[in-house]
Chains A and B, each alone.
Chain A
Amino acid sequence: MSNNNGYKLVQGNEACVEGALAAGMRFYAGYPITPSTEIAEISAQKLPQIGGKFIQMEDELASMAAIIGGSLAGLKSMTATSGPGFSLMQENIGYAALAEIPCVIVNVQRGGPSTGMPTSPAQGDIMQAKWGTHGDHPSISLTPNSVQETYEYTIKAFNIAEKYRTPVVLLMDETVGHMREKLKIKDSSEIEVINRKKPTCEPKDYVAYRPDEDMVPQMASFGEGYRYHVTGLTHDETGFPTNNNDVSGKLVQRIVDKVEKNIDDITYYEEYRMEDAEIVIVAFGGVSRAAKSAIDDMREKNIKVGMFRPITIWPFLEKQINDVAQKAKEIYVAEMNLGQYFLEVDRVAGKKCPVKKINKINGELITPNEITYAVTGGAIND
Protein backbone atom coordinates (compact mmCIF):
# COMPACT_ATOMS: atom_id res chain seq x y z
CA MET A 1 0.00 0.00 0.00
CA SER A 2 1.29 3.43 -0.89
CA ASN A 3 0.76 6.34 1.47
CA ASN A 4 2.33 8.89 -0.80
CA ASN A 5 -0.81 11.09 -1.11
CA GLY A 6 0.03 11.73 -4.72
CA TYR A 7 3.58 12.84 -4.02
CA LYS A 8 6.52 11.54 -5.99
CA LEU A 9 10.26 11.97 -5.45
CA VAL A 10 11.34 14.28 -8.25
CA GLN A 11 14.45 16.30 -9.04
CA GLY A 12 14.14 20.08 -9.33
CA ASN A 13 15.19 20.11 -12.98
CA GLU A 14 12.63 17.43 -13.78
CA ALA A 15 9.93 19.41 -11.99
CA CYS A 16 10.83 22.34 -14.22
CA VAL A 17 10.06 20.27 -17.32
CA GLU A 18 6.84 18.96 -15.77
CA GLY A 19 5.76 22.54 -15.09
CA ALA A 20 6.71 23.66 -18.58
CA LEU A 21 4.72 20.86 -20.19
CA ALA A 22 1.74 21.62 -17.96
CA ALA A 23 1.95 25.26 -19.04
CA GLY A 24 1.91 24.23 -22.68
CA MET A 25 5.56 24.17 -23.71
CA ARG A 26 5.80 22.48 -27.09
CA PHE A 27 9.25 23.59 -28.24
CA TYR A 28 12.58 23.38 -26.47
CA ALA A 29 15.93 24.43 -27.90
CA GLY A 30 19.06 24.18 -25.80
CA TYR A 31 22.71 23.39 -25.44
CA PRO A 32 24.05 21.05 -22.74
CA ILE A 33 25.48 22.71 -19.65
CA THR A 34 25.81 21.59 -16.05
CA PRO A 35 23.80 21.86 -13.82
CA SER A 36 20.82 22.38 -16.14
CA THR A 37 21.33 19.48 -18.53
CA GLU A 38 18.57 17.27 -17.12
CA ILE A 39 16.06 19.86 -18.30
CA ALA A 40 17.21 19.31 -21.89
CA GLU A 41 17.41 15.55 -21.49
CA ILE A 42 13.93 15.20 -20.07
CA SER A 43 12.51 17.61 -22.65
CA ALA A 44 14.12 15.54 -25.41
CA GLN A 45 12.46 12.48 -23.95
CA LYS A 46 9.01 13.90 -23.31
CA LEU A 47 8.29 16.44 -26.04
CA PRO A 48 8.02 14.12 -29.06
CA GLN A 49 5.74 11.88 -27.04
CA ILE A 50 3.16 14.65 -26.97
CA GLY A 51 3.83 15.91 -30.48
CA GLY A 52 6.17 18.66 -29.31
CA LYS A 53 9.65 19.41 -30.62
CA PHE A 54 13.11 19.36 -29.12
CA ILE A 55 16.30 20.51 -30.78
CA GLN A 56 19.84 20.58 -29.50
CA MET A 57 21.36 23.69 -31.03
CA GLU A 58 25.02 24.43 -31.74
CA ASP A 59 25.37 26.90 -28.87
CA GLU A 60 23.36 29.06 -26.51
CA LEU A 61 23.16 32.01 -28.89
CA ALA A 62 21.41 29.72 -31.33
CA SER A 63 19.24 28.17 -28.60
CA MET A 64 17.88 31.54 -27.60
CA ALA A 65 17.34 32.50 -31.24
CA ALA A 66 15.57 29.23 -31.96
CA ILE A 67 13.06 29.59 -29.14
CA ILE A 68 12.19 33.08 -30.37
CA GLY A 69 11.60 31.58 -33.81
CA GLY A 70 9.57 28.74 -32.32
CA SER A 71 7.42 31.17 -30.36
CA LEU A 72 6.83 33.33 -33.43
CA ALA A 73 5.67 30.24 -35.27
CA GLY A 74 3.14 29.66 -32.50
CA LEU A 75 4.62 27.21 -29.99
CA LYS A 76 5.30 28.00 -26.35
CA SER A 77 9.06 27.78 -26.15
CA MET A 78 11.75 27.39 -23.52
CA THR A 79 15.48 27.00 -23.13
CA ALA A 80 17.57 26.18 -20.07
CA THR A 81 21.17 26.93 -19.25
CA SER A 82 23.62 28.02 -16.59
CA GLY A 83 25.91 31.05 -16.18
CA PRO A 84 28.21 30.75 -19.21
CA GLY A 85 25.30 29.93 -21.51
CA PHE A 86 23.16 32.65 -19.93
CA SER A 87 25.88 35.12 -20.88
CA LEU A 88 25.73 33.95 -24.48
CA MET A 89 21.96 34.30 -24.59
CA GLN A 90 21.85 37.91 -23.52
CA GLU A 91 21.74 39.61 -26.92
CA ASN A 92 18.76 37.60 -28.06
CA ILE A 93 17.00 37.96 -24.70
CA GLY A 94 17.05 41.68 -25.47
CA TYR A 95 15.66 40.90 -28.91
CA ALA A 96 12.77 38.97 -27.36
CA ALA A 97 12.11 41.89 -25.02
CA LEU A 98 12.02 44.51 -27.79
CA ALA A 99 10.23 42.37 -30.37
CA GLU A 100 7.87 41.21 -27.59
CA ILE A 101 8.22 37.49 -28.14
CA PRO A 102 7.04 35.35 -25.22
CA CYS A 103 9.54 32.73 -24.06
CA VAL A 104 11.01 31.23 -20.91
CA ILE A 105 14.71 31.05 -20.07
CA VAL A 106 15.76 28.84 -17.18
CA ASN A 107 19.10 29.59 -15.55
CA VAL A 108 20.22 26.96 -13.04
CA GLN A 109 22.93 29.04 -11.42
CA ARG A 110 26.36 27.61 -10.70
CA GLY A 111 29.54 29.10 -9.31
CA GLY A 112 31.06 31.83 -11.45
CA PRO A 113 32.50 33.94 -12.94
CA SER A 114 33.62 32.24 -16.15
CA THR A 115 33.51 28.43 -16.09
CA GLY A 116 33.60 28.69 -12.31
CA MET A 117 32.23 25.71 -10.40
CA PRO A 118 29.95 23.76 -12.73
CA THR A 119 28.49 21.38 -10.14
CA SER A 120 28.15 23.82 -7.26
CA PRO A 121 25.36 26.21 -6.35
CA ALA A 122 25.60 29.98 -6.53
CA GLN A 123 23.37 33.00 -6.93
CA GLY A 124 25.82 35.13 -8.84
CA ASP A 125 23.56 35.90 -11.80
CA ILE A 126 21.03 38.04 -9.93
CA MET A 127 22.09 41.32 -11.49
CA GLN A 128 22.74 39.66 -14.85
CA ALA A 129 19.13 38.47 -14.92
CA LYS A 130 18.11 42.11 -14.57
CA TRP A 131 20.71 43.91 -16.62
CA GLY A 132 22.40 41.22 -18.70
CA THR A 133 21.26 42.50 -22.06
CA HIS A 134 22.05 45.99 -23.24
CA GLY A 135 19.64 48.89 -23.19
CA ASP A 136 16.61 49.52 -21.02
CA HIS A 137 14.21 46.63 -21.04
CA PRO A 138 11.67 44.84 -18.89
CA SER A 139 13.07 42.09 -16.65
CA ILE A 140 11.08 39.39 -14.95
CA SER A 141 12.79 36.70 -12.88
CA LEU A 142 11.20 34.16 -10.59
CA THR A 143 13.16 32.18 -8.00
CA PRO A 144 11.75 28.93 -6.63
CA ASN A 145 13.17 27.36 -3.47
CA SER A 146 11.79 23.83 -3.69
CA VAL A 147 10.94 21.13 -6.18
CA GLN A 148 7.22 21.85 -5.83
CA GLU A 149 7.80 25.56 -6.37
CA THR A 150 9.99 24.88 -9.38
CA TYR A 151 6.99 23.14 -10.93
CA GLU A 152 4.54 25.87 -9.94
CA TYR A 153 6.71 28.81 -10.94
CA THR A 154 7.70 27.33 -14.28
CA ILE A 155 3.99 27.34 -15.07
CA LYS A 156 3.74 30.92 -13.85
CA ALA A 157 6.80 31.91 -15.89
CA PHE A 158 5.05 30.74 -19.06
CA ASN A 159 1.82 32.45 -18.09
CA ILE A 160 3.56 35.75 -17.44
CA ALA A 161 5.58 35.47 -20.66
CA GLU A 162 2.41 34.86 -22.66
CA LYS A 163 0.34 37.51 -20.92
CA TYR A 164 2.91 40.28 -21.23
CA ARG A 165 4.67 39.09 -24.40
CA THR A 166 8.09 39.19 -22.86
CA PRO A 167 10.93 36.82 -21.94
CA VAL A 168 10.73 35.50 -18.39
CA VAL A 169 13.71 34.08 -16.53
CA LEU A 170 13.29 31.23 -14.07
CA LEU A 171 16.31 31.77 -11.86
CA MET A 172 17.12 28.51 -10.12
CA ASP A 173 20.32 27.44 -8.42
CA GLU A 174 22.15 24.14 -8.40
CA THR A 175 20.76 23.29 -4.98
CA VAL A 176 17.16 23.50 -6.16
CA GLY A 177 17.87 22.11 -9.63
CA HIS A 178 19.61 18.97 -8.45
CA MET A 179 17.85 18.14 -5.21
CA ARG A 180 15.10 15.61 -5.07
CA GLU A 181 12.08 15.99 -2.86
CA LYS A 182 8.38 15.47 -3.04
CA LEU A 183 6.33 16.88 -5.86
CA LYS A 184 2.62 16.73 -6.44
CA ILE A 185 1.79 17.03 -10.11
CA LYS A 186 -1.49 18.82 -10.46
CA ASP A 187 -4.42 17.77 -12.53
CA SER A 188 -4.75 19.95 -15.60
CA SER A 189 -8.11 21.19 -14.30
CA GLU A 190 -6.29 22.74 -11.31
CA ILE A 191 -3.76 24.60 -13.42
CA GLU A 192 -4.33 28.05 -14.81
CA VAL A 193 -2.81 28.33 -18.27
CA ILE A 194 -2.62 31.70 -19.99
CA ASN A 195 -2.16 31.98 -23.74
CA ARG A 196 -1.04 35.01 -25.73
CA LYS A 197 -3.73 37.27 -27.16
CA LYS A 198 -4.36 36.58 -30.82
CA PRO A 199 -5.67 39.12 -33.29
CA THR A 200 -9.32 38.73 -34.20
CA CYS A 201 -9.36 41.40 -36.89
CA GLU A 202 -8.93 40.88 -40.62
CA PRO A 203 -5.28 40.54 -41.68
CA LYS A 204 -5.49 43.80 -43.64
CA ASP A 205 -6.47 45.64 -40.45
CA TYR A 206 -3.77 44.07 -38.28
CA VAL A 207 -1.30 46.55 -36.85
CA ALA A 208 1.21 44.20 -35.33
CA TYR A 209 2.61 46.39 -32.58
CA ARG A 210 -0.39 48.51 -31.67
CA PRO A 211 -0.90 47.91 -27.94
CA ASP A 212 -4.27 47.29 -26.34
CA GLU A 213 -5.30 49.07 -23.15
CA ASP A 214 -3.07 46.70 -21.17
CA MET A 215 -0.08 47.94 -23.21
CA VAL A 216 0.34 44.52 -24.81
CA PRO A 217 -0.19 44.11 -28.58
CA GLN A 218 -2.00 41.09 -30.02
CA MET A 219 0.30 38.48 -31.46
CA ALA A 220 -0.30 36.54 -34.66
CA SER A 221 1.80 33.48 -35.41
CA PHE A 222 3.70 33.32 -38.67
CA GLY A 223 1.65 31.33 -41.14
CA GLU A 224 -1.75 32.46 -39.88
CA GLY A 225 -2.32 34.92 -42.70
CA TYR A 226 -1.19 38.03 -40.89
CA ARG A 227 1.94 38.90 -42.77
CA TYR A 228 3.89 41.30 -40.63
CA HIS A 229 7.42 42.40 -39.94
CA VAL A 230 9.42 41.71 -36.79
CA THR A 231 12.67 43.49 -36.09
CA GLY A 232 15.09 44.20 -33.28
CA LEU A 233 15.34 47.78 -34.47
CA THR A 234 13.13 50.25 -32.68
CA HIS A 235 9.91 50.27 -34.62
CA ASP A 236 6.57 51.95 -34.81
CA GLU A 237 3.18 50.31 -34.31
CA THR A 238 3.39 48.68 -37.71
CA GLY A 239 6.53 46.85 -36.65
CA PHE A 240 8.72 48.55 -39.24
CA PRO A 241 11.93 50.29 -38.19
CA THR A 242 11.86 53.95 -37.37
CA ASN A 243 14.39 56.53 -36.34
CA ASN A 244 11.66 58.81 -35.06
CA ASN A 245 12.90 59.80 -31.60
CA ASP A 246 9.45 60.25 -30.18
CA VAL A 247 8.21 56.87 -31.39
CA SER A 248 11.40 55.06 -30.32
CA GLY A 249 11.36 56.52 -26.84
CA LYS A 250 7.70 55.66 -26.36
CA LEU A 251 8.24 52.09 -27.52
CA VAL A 252 10.95 51.36 -24.96
CA GLN A 253 8.93 53.12 -22.27
CA ARG A 254 5.89 51.00 -23.11
CA ILE A 255 7.66 47.63 -22.96
CA VAL A 256 9.09 48.58 -19.57
CA ASP A 257 5.80 50.01 -18.31
CA LYS A 258 3.72 47.01 -19.33
CA VAL A 259 5.70 45.03 -16.74
CA GLU A 260 6.47 47.66 -14.10
CA LYS A 261 2.91 49.02 -13.98
CA ASN A 262 1.51 45.50 -13.63
CA ILE A 263 3.93 44.54 -10.89
CA ASP A 264 1.14 43.57 -8.48
CA ASP A 265 0.04 40.93 -10.96
CA ILE A 266 3.46 39.27 -10.95
CA THR A 267 4.37 39.79 -7.30
CA TYR A 268 5.12 36.57 -5.46
CA TYR A 269 6.78 36.35 -2.08
CA GLU A 270 6.68 34.46 1.21
CA GLU A 271 6.84 35.80 4.73
CA TYR A 272 8.07 33.42 7.42
CA ARG A 273 7.55 34.16 11.13
CA MET A 274 7.32 37.85 10.35
CA GLU A 275 4.46 38.75 12.74
CA ASP A 276 6.63 40.29 15.44
CA ALA A 277 10.00 40.05 13.74
CA GLU A 278 12.49 42.74 14.65
CA ILE A 279 15.26 41.17 12.64
CA VAL A 280 14.43 40.28 9.06
CA ILE A 281 16.42 38.01 6.82
CA VAL A 282 15.89 38.56 3.12
CA ALA A 283 16.74 35.37 1.27
CA PHE A 284 15.61 33.51 -1.84
CA GLY A 285 16.19 30.23 -3.67
CA GLY A 286 18.21 27.55 -1.89
CA VAL A 287 19.49 30.00 0.73
CA SER A 288 15.98 30.74 1.96
CA ARG A 289 15.78 27.15 3.23
CA ALA A 290 18.85 27.71 5.36
CA ALA A 291 17.29 30.94 6.58
CA LYS A 292 14.12 29.14 7.65
CA SER A 293 16.08 26.61 9.67
CA ALA A 294 18.16 29.37 11.23
CA ILE A 295 15.04 31.32 12.14
CA ASP A 296 13.53 28.26 13.85
CA ASP A 297 16.74 27.84 15.85
CA MET A 298 16.85 31.50 16.83
CA ARG A 299 13.16 31.63 17.70
CA GLU A 300 13.79 28.85 20.20
CA LYS A 301 16.18 31.25 21.87
CA ASN A 302 13.49 33.97 21.80
CA ILE A 303 15.11 36.03 19.14
CA LYS A 304 12.43 37.82 17.15
CA VAL A 305 13.55 37.02 13.67
CA GLY A 306 11.66 36.33 10.46
CA MET A 307 12.21 36.06 6.75
CA PHE A 308 10.99 37.96 3.75
CA ARG A 309 11.50 35.79 0.68
CA PRO A 310 10.97 37.41 -2.71
CA ILE A 311 9.98 34.79 -5.27
CA THR A 312 9.64 37.51 -7.86
CA ILE A 313 13.24 38.70 -7.83
CA TRP A 314 12.69 41.10 -10.73
CA PRO A 315 10.99 43.47 -10.91
CA PHE A 316 12.20 44.39 -7.44
CA LEU A 317 9.41 44.24 -4.85
CA GLU A 318 10.00 47.77 -3.66
CA LYS A 319 6.67 48.20 -1.94
CA GLN A 320 7.02 45.04 0.14
CA ILE A 321 10.65 45.69 1.06
CA ASN A 322 9.66 49.19 2.07
CA ASP A 323 6.97 47.77 4.39
CA VAL A 324 9.47 45.33 5.86
CA ALA A 325 11.91 48.16 6.51
CA GLN A 326 9.24 50.21 8.31
CA LYS A 327 8.93 47.55 11.01
CA ALA A 328 12.36 45.96 11.11
CA LYS A 329 15.19 47.03 13.34
CA GLU A 330 17.71 45.25 11.20
CA ILE A 331 17.72 43.52 7.81
CA TYR A 332 20.15 40.86 6.63
CA VAL A 333 20.37 39.91 2.98
CA ALA A 334 21.68 36.34 2.72
CA GLU A 335 22.77 35.26 -0.77
CA MET A 336 25.36 33.09 -2.51
CA ASN A 337 27.18 36.03 -4.09
CA LEU A 338 29.05 39.03 -2.79
CA GLY A 339 25.98 41.17 -2.22
CA GLN A 340 24.03 41.70 -5.43
CA TYR A 341 20.45 41.73 -4.15
CA PHE A 342 21.76 43.57 -1.10
CA LEU A 343 22.30 46.61 -3.34
CA GLU A 344 18.59 46.80 -4.14
CA VAL A 345 17.41 46.06 -0.61
CA ASP A 346 19.81 48.64 0.78
CA ARG A 347 18.65 51.20 -1.78
CA VAL A 348 15.07 50.90 -0.57
CA ALA A 349 15.49 49.96 3.09
CA GLY A 350 18.89 51.45 3.94
CA LYS A 351 17.56 54.83 5.09
CA LYS A 352 15.08 53.23 7.47
CA CYS A 353 17.17 50.55 9.16
CA PRO A 354 20.62 49.03 8.92
CA VAL A 355 20.93 46.52 6.07
CA LYS A 356 23.72 43.95 6.34
CA LYS A 357 25.13 41.24 4.14
CA ILE A 358 25.53 37.50 4.63
CA ASN A 359 27.47 36.14 1.67
CA LYS A 360 29.15 32.94 0.59
CA ILE A 361 30.78 32.24 -2.77
CA ASN A 362 32.75 29.02 -2.27
CA GLY A 363 30.28 26.72 -4.00
CA GLU A 364 28.50 25.61 -0.84
CA LEU A 365 25.02 26.52 0.25
CA ILE A 366 24.97 28.96 3.17
CA THR A 367 24.16 26.93 6.27
CA PRO A 368 21.64 27.74 9.00
CA ASN A 369 24.50 28.03 11.50
CA GLU A 370 26.24 30.60 9.38
CA ILE A 371 23.10 32.72 9.25
CA THR A 372 22.52 32.36 12.98
CA TYR A 373 26.12 33.25 13.65
CA ALA A 374 25.93 36.35 11.47
CA VAL A 375 22.70 37.53 13.07
CA THR A 376 23.64 36.84 16.69
CA GLY A 377 27.34 37.49 16.46
CA GLY A 378 27.93 33.94 17.60
CA ALA A 379 26.05 34.51 20.84
CA ILE A 380 23.85 31.44 20.55
CA ASN A 381 25.95 29.21 18.36
CA ASP A 382 26.89 25.89 19.84
Chain B
Amino acid sequence: MFQKMELRLSGSGGQGVILAAIILADAAIEQGINAIQTQSYGPEARGGSSKAEVIISKDEIKFPKVTNCDILLCLTQNSYDKYIASLNKNGILVVDESVNVNMNESYKIYKLPILDTAQNKIGTHMVANIVSVGTLYALIGEDVISKDVMIRSITNRVPPVTVDKNIYAFEEGIKLIRG
Protein backbone atom coordinates (compact mmCIF):
# COMPACT_ATOMS: atom_id res chain seq x y z
CA MET B 1 0.00 0.00 0.00
CA PHE B 2 1.39 3.38 -0.96
CA GLN B 3 1.97 5.72 1.96
CA LYS B 4 4.80 8.04 1.10
CA MET B 5 7.45 8.40 -1.56
CA GLU B 6 10.42 10.75 -1.73
CA LEU B 7 11.98 11.52 -5.10
CA ARG B 8 15.05 13.46 -6.02
CA LEU B 9 15.54 14.60 -9.62
CA SER B 10 18.94 15.85 -10.67
CA GLY B 11 20.70 16.99 -13.78
CA SER B 12 22.31 20.08 -15.18
CA GLY B 13 20.64 23.50 -15.28
CA GLY B 14 18.36 23.86 -18.31
CA GLN B 15 17.47 20.16 -18.50
CA GLY B 16 14.15 20.92 -16.85
CA VAL B 17 14.30 18.70 -13.80
CA ILE B 18 12.52 21.37 -11.75
CA LEU B 19 9.61 21.39 -14.20
CA ALA B 20 9.57 17.58 -14.11
CA ALA B 21 9.26 17.69 -10.34
CA ILE B 22 6.52 20.33 -10.52
CA ILE B 23 4.53 18.17 -12.95
CA LEU B 24 4.72 15.14 -10.63
CA ALA B 25 3.72 17.20 -7.58
CA ASP B 26 0.93 18.91 -9.49
CA ALA B 27 -0.50 15.57 -10.57
CA ALA B 28 -0.35 14.24 -7.03
CA ILE B 29 -2.33 17.24 -5.72
CA GLU B 30 -4.84 16.81 -8.54
CA GLN B 31 -5.15 13.18 -7.50
CA GLY B 32 -6.07 14.31 -4.02
CA ILE B 33 -2.93 13.24 -2.21
CA ASN B 34 -0.36 15.49 -0.59
CA ALA B 35 2.72 16.64 -2.41
CA ILE B 36 5.48 19.11 -1.91
CA GLN B 37 8.13 20.21 -4.36
CA THR B 38 11.36 22.02 -3.61
CA GLN B 39 14.55 22.70 -5.46
CA SER B 40 18.06 23.91 -5.04
CA TYR B 41 19.89 25.68 -7.74
CA GLY B 42 22.90 27.86 -8.37
CA PRO B 43 23.25 31.15 -10.23
CA GLU B 44 23.39 29.50 -13.66
CA ALA B 45 20.28 29.55 -15.85
CA ARG B 46 22.01 26.96 -18.04
CA GLY B 47 24.64 24.46 -16.97
CA GLY B 48 25.69 24.05 -13.36
CA SER B 49 23.84 21.49 -11.30
CA SER B 50 20.15 21.47 -10.63
CA LYS B 51 18.23 19.43 -8.11
CA ALA B 52 14.53 19.19 -7.54
CA GLU B 53 12.66 17.17 -4.98
CA VAL B 54 9.15 15.83 -4.71
CA ILE B 55 7.53 14.17 -1.76
CA ILE B 56 4.13 12.59 -2.27
CA SER B 57 2.27 11.24 0.69
CA LYS B 58 -1.14 10.13 1.91
CA ASP B 59 -0.48 12.02 5.16
CA GLU B 60 0.42 15.62 5.85
CA ILE B 61 4.01 16.32 4.78
CA LYS B 62 5.87 18.10 7.54
CA PHE B 63 9.53 18.41 6.62
CA PRO B 64 9.53 19.61 2.99
CA LYS B 65 12.91 18.23 1.95
CA VAL B 66 13.84 14.69 0.98
CA THR B 67 15.51 12.88 3.87
CA ASN B 68 14.92 9.32 2.77
CA CYS B 69 15.28 9.17 -1.00
CA ASP B 70 13.17 6.39 -2.53
CA ILE B 71 13.80 7.25 -6.16
CA LEU B 72 16.79 9.12 -7.50
CA LEU B 73 16.97 10.39 -11.07
CA CYS B 74 20.36 11.45 -12.44
CA LEU B 75 20.64 12.77 -15.97
CA THR B 76 24.34 13.58 -15.77
CA GLN B 77 27.47 12.04 -14.34
CA ASN B 78 27.96 15.08 -12.13
CA SER B 79 24.55 14.77 -10.55
CA TYR B 80 25.03 11.03 -10.04
CA ASP B 81 28.35 11.59 -8.31
CA LYS B 82 26.84 14.30 -6.15
CA TYR B 83 23.62 12.64 -5.03
CA ILE B 84 24.07 8.86 -5.21
CA ALA B 85 24.98 8.67 -1.53
CA SER B 86 21.57 10.04 -0.60
CA LEU B 87 19.67 7.10 -2.14
CA ASN B 88 18.02 4.54 0.14
CA LYS B 89 19.57 1.10 0.33
CA ASN B 90 16.30 -0.27 -0.99
CA GLY B 91 15.65 2.60 -3.32
CA ILE B 92 15.55 2.93 -7.08
CA LEU B 93 18.12 4.67 -9.23
CA VAL B 94 17.14 5.95 -12.65
CA VAL B 95 20.09 7.17 -14.68
CA ASP B 96 20.74 8.10 -18.24
CA GLU B 97 22.73 5.45 -20.07
CA SER B 98 25.60 7.90 -20.46
CA VAL B 99 26.28 7.85 -16.72
CA ASN B 100 28.87 5.45 -15.34
CA VAL B 101 27.28 3.63 -12.45
CA ASN B 102 28.55 1.30 -9.77
CA MET B 103 26.30 -1.70 -10.44
CA ASN B 104 27.21 -3.61 -7.27
CA GLU B 105 24.75 -1.87 -5.01
CA SER B 106 21.66 -2.97 -3.13
CA TYR B 107 19.32 -0.47 -4.76
CA LYS B 108 17.57 -1.21 -8.00
CA ILE B 109 19.15 0.39 -11.06
CA TYR B 110 17.48 1.48 -14.28
CA LYS B 111 20.07 2.61 -16.79
CA LEU B 112 17.98 4.03 -19.62
CA PRO B 113 18.49 5.93 -22.90
CA ILE B 114 16.59 8.99 -21.64
CA LEU B 115 18.59 11.68 -23.42
CA ASP B 116 18.86 9.58 -26.57
CA THR B 117 15.11 8.94 -26.65
CA ALA B 118 14.44 12.65 -26.36
CA GLN B 119 16.97 13.67 -28.98
CA ASN B 120 16.61 10.90 -31.54
CA LYS B 121 13.14 9.46 -31.07
CA ILE B 122 11.11 12.54 -30.14
CA GLY B 123 13.43 14.89 -31.97
CA THR B 124 14.57 17.34 -29.29
CA HIS B 125 16.72 17.16 -26.19
CA MET B 126 14.29 19.67 -24.66
CA VAL B 127 11.87 16.89 -23.69
CA ALA B 128 14.37 14.77 -21.75
CA ASN B 129 12.71 15.97 -18.58
CA ILE B 130 9.31 14.67 -19.69
CA VAL B 131 10.79 11.34 -20.81
CA SER B 132 12.12 11.26 -17.24
CA VAL B 133 8.66 12.03 -15.88
CA GLY B 134 7.40 9.00 -17.83
CA THR B 135 10.02 6.73 -16.27
CA LEU B 136 9.35 8.02 -12.76
CA TYR B 137 5.61 7.74 -13.25
CA ALA B 138 5.96 4.13 -14.33
CA LEU B 139 7.79 3.48 -11.06
CA ILE B 140 5.35 5.42 -8.88
CA GLY B 141 2.46 3.47 -10.34
CA GLU B 142 -0.99 4.00 -11.71
CA ASP B 143 -2.51 3.05 -8.37
CA VAL B 144 -1.05 6.24 -6.89
CA ILE B 145 -1.72 8.74 -9.69
CA SER B 146 -3.93 8.03 -12.68
CA LYS B 147 -2.48 8.46 -16.14
CA ASP B 148 -5.20 10.94 -17.13
CA VAL B 149 -4.21 13.20 -14.27
CA MET B 150 -0.56 12.97 -15.28
CA ILE B 151 -1.32 13.90 -18.86
CA ARG B 152 -3.44 16.82 -17.72
CA SER B 153 -0.65 18.03 -15.48
CA ILE B 154 1.84 17.88 -18.36
CA THR B 155 -0.59 19.67 -20.65
CA ASN B 156 -1.07 22.46 -18.12
CA ARG B 157 2.60 22.99 -17.41
CA VAL B 158 4.38 22.83 -20.78
CA PRO B 159 4.19 25.49 -23.52
CA PRO B 160 0.93 24.97 -25.45
CA VAL B 161 2.58 24.35 -28.82
CA THR B 162 4.70 21.54 -27.36
CA VAL B 163 1.95 19.54 -25.68
CA ASP B 164 1.81 16.73 -28.27
CA LYS B 165 5.54 16.29 -28.29
CA ASN B 166 5.65 16.21 -24.50
CA ILE B 167 2.88 13.64 -24.20
CA TYR B 168 4.75 11.52 -26.72
CA ALA B 169 7.86 11.92 -24.59
CA PHE B 170 5.92 10.92 -21.49
CA GLU B 171 4.62 7.75 -23.17
CA GLU B 172 8.10 6.83 -24.37
CA GLY B 173 9.40 7.32 -20.85
CA ILE B 174 6.86 4.87 -19.51
CA LYS B 175 7.92 2.37 -22.20
CA LEU B 176 11.56 2.64 -21.12
CA ILE B 177 10.58 1.11 -17.78
CA ARG B 178 7.81 -1.23 -18.86
CA GLY B 179 9.37 -2.22 -22.14
Contacts and interface: CB of A to CB of B under 8 A. Distances in A.
A interface, how many residues as a size bin? 20 to 34
B127 interface: no
Contacts of A9: 22, 25-26, 29-30, 35, 37
Given A180-B22, A369-B67, A289 B35 contact: no
B62 A296 contact: yes
Contacts, number: 70
Interface residues of B, number: 25
B155 to A, nearest CB: 13
Contacts of A3: 30-32
A175 to B, nearest CB: 7
B139 interface: no
Given A2-B149, A292-B62, A181 B35 contact: yes
Contacts of A163: none
A292 B43 contact: no
B123 interface: no
A250 B124 CA distance: 69
A289 B149 CA distance: 28
B42 A180 contact: no
B43 A289 contact: no
B61 A181 contact: yes
B29 A8 contact: yes
Given A9-B37, A179-B36, A119 B63 contact: no
Contact of A4 (B30, B39, B62, B64): B30
A292 B25 contact: no
A119 B25 contact: no
Interface in B19-50: 22, 25-26, 29-32, 34-43
A286 B32 contact: no
Nearest to A295: B62
A191 B58 CA distance: 28
B65 interface: yes
B40 A119 contact: yes
A367 B65 contact: yes
Nearest to A296: B62
B38 A179 contact: yes
Nearest to B148: A1
Interface of B: 22, 25-26, 29-32, 34-43, 61-65, 67, 148-149
Interface of A: 1-5, 7-9, 118-120, 175, 178-182, 286, 289-290, 292-293, 296, 365, 367-369
Given A9-B25, A296-B62, 15 more contacts: A2-B30, A3-B30, A4-B31, A9-B29, A9-B30, A9-B37, A175-B38, A175-B64, A178-B38, A179-B64, A181-B25, A181-B61, A182-B29, A289-B63, A293-B63
